Amino acid sequence: MSGTGVMILSSFLALMVTYILVTLYKHRKEVQRVSHIPGRNYPFKLLFILFHKNDFFWNDKKQYHNYNEFGPYWRITVGDKTIFHTCKLDHYKEIAITKTKYFEKDEEKFLEIQPCGPTNNVFASRGGESWKRYRSISSVSFTDSKLANYMTPINDIVKNVLTYVENNQKNEINHLDWIRIVLDDKEELPELSRRNFLAAQMVLMIPKTVIITLGRIIPAWLWKDVTDSSELFRTWPEYIKNLVLREKERLVENIENTGQASIDVDRDNFITQLLKYESPEYGKLSLDEVVSNTHIVLLAGSRTTGISSSWLIFFLAKHPQYQQKVFEEIQDFVNSSSFETRDSSSSLNLTLKDIDNNFEYLKMAMNETLRLQALERNRNGEAWKRYDRAYSASSTLLLLSKENPVPANLRKTVKDIVLEDGILLPKNLQVLTFHGLNNYDKKIWGEDADEFRPDRFTEYNKRIKEDNSLNNRFEFVPFFIGGRRCIGYKLAESQMIDYAANLVWNYEMSLSDEMQRTPIIERHAIAVEPSTPLMVRFKPRVLHQ
């Protein structure tokens, strides 16, 4: 090796040694910085090697068992970052409710618009003040009067699904994955109009309501090839941007003609509201922010509601005794004076009022599904890598091991905070909260907490009715709680109830022979998915033959 080569190699080794020493120094400094937080500290690599199956970050069911092994508090140090786990529900309540004013979004790291997606030009806002502004606009769009307008397209989609099941020769449907498509008025995306799925006409921008689509109850088994969904994401970025630009042109023309520049929540769709909105504190949203928030709203729920509906159908098919109770409940509703046949089809054509005032047992089955298989879980490994890179070297994470079915709630302390039990959370501490461990707590749900039993919510609802305290309400919060509760929760519930009610009313559902023999293995990604297809057999009910 030449002298130059030796020098280069020596320099490289020197840099590596320096990097390792600096990293070890930062690691040690970080350990000392958080040493006041209770619980033992475990190096991540050691845990990964010795307890890999415990899946410390991504599987909340396994995290629940970690509580028994590691105690109520434990910390993991990853380089110069620390993740603090606590299984105390009181901590979560303090951060989410009683001390929420001392926490904020991490504006420095998450407010900026970041490109993502296959073409790298889909903008996804990471929250911060932009999210606060978005919520102040969109919250008015999820009133009952607005939601009632959504039931027509939901019912149209359900009819398409019923038609598909009726015409399917195998009568076994794969409930595995779901897709959500957006169409602008009656204009279809060229790349999508040629796809072989029944709901090509499905999702429209509802006139005089927010622009939010209802295709998330459309399963991917309507596609010949699931991989065709990649076409959507190749076409999507430019489509969203053009959608916003068209709305902006219409808005400018309308203001010139009418002089009306203020928001009209009854007439303006969601994009128009975003374009019109102006905050005295933050000013108007930029075009990128409008595109970003439109993207989020139109795609939000694509996997959450769909996969939860899949699990609901799976559980009802697996447990015929509970499916029969749901059917009898629907039968009582159909025979009641409150139900009117809307057309001659097999669809129930439910209204929002129907869903609000009926189907108590089906709602308990839905909640039991959300308890066992929540909408969204902890981030998967790849997401964690991206998340990890977003933080500075000196940051510390406080992870409350409570799973959240809506995206994980990230907070940053605005000052040093002492919790009621004396634990100090220093200023600028990142707080990532998950609350789903309660879903498997046998002290709350009984010794059969790992089993599907909708009737347990009879006891839960009675307990809440007798004592509506925060302590009881935090036992089950599938859509979060407080000021940051999922703004689309009622839309999601309505879709799940409508979809399941129509399938149960028209078909006896059972698991395929293969499903009865094969155990379900969960795959923890954005949502908890089965690693194999959920094959459900549909048999037309004699009542309708």
Q: Is 526 helix (H, G, I), strand (E, B) or coil?
A: coil
pLDDT in the model for residue 387: 25
Which residue ranges make up the annotated binding site? 486
Residues 185-197 have pLDDT tens digits of 233 333 333 332 2
Averaged pLDDT, 468-489 = 70
CA dihedral (111, 115, 117, 122) positive or negative: positive
pLDDT in the model for residue 266: 52
Domains defined for the chain, CATH in brackets: 306-377+441-544 (1.10.630.10)
pLDDT at 396 over 90: no
Averaged pLDDT, 435-439 = 70
Show the tokens assigned to 116: 């993502």
State how far the Cα of 18 lies from the Cα of 160, in Å rounded to an integer. Answer: 63
pLDDT at 499 over 90: no
Output the DSSP codes for 483-501.
GGS-TTHHHHHHHHHHHHH
Q: Supply the pTM of this predicted model.
A: 0.66
Long-range contacts, stretch 265-272, CB < 8 angstroms, 24+ apart: 265/140, 265/141, 266/208, 267/208, 269/205, 269/206, 269/208, 269/209, 269/210, 269/211, 270/137, 270/138, 270/141, 270/210, 270/211, 270/212, 270/294, 270/297, 271/211, 271/243, 271/244, 271/247, 272/247
Q: Which residue is it, tokens 């954005």? A: 526
pLDDT in the model for residue 458: 94
Averaged pLDDT, 235-250 = 77
Which residue ranges make up the annotated binding site for heme? 486
Residues 81-127 have pLDDT tens digits of 666 677 676 777 777 667 777 777 654 333 233 333 333 333 333 33
pLDDT in the model for residue 381: 28
pLDDT in the model for residue 365: 98
* Nearest to 536, CA basis, from 319, 347, 342, 348: 319
Higher pLDDT, 145 or 395: 145
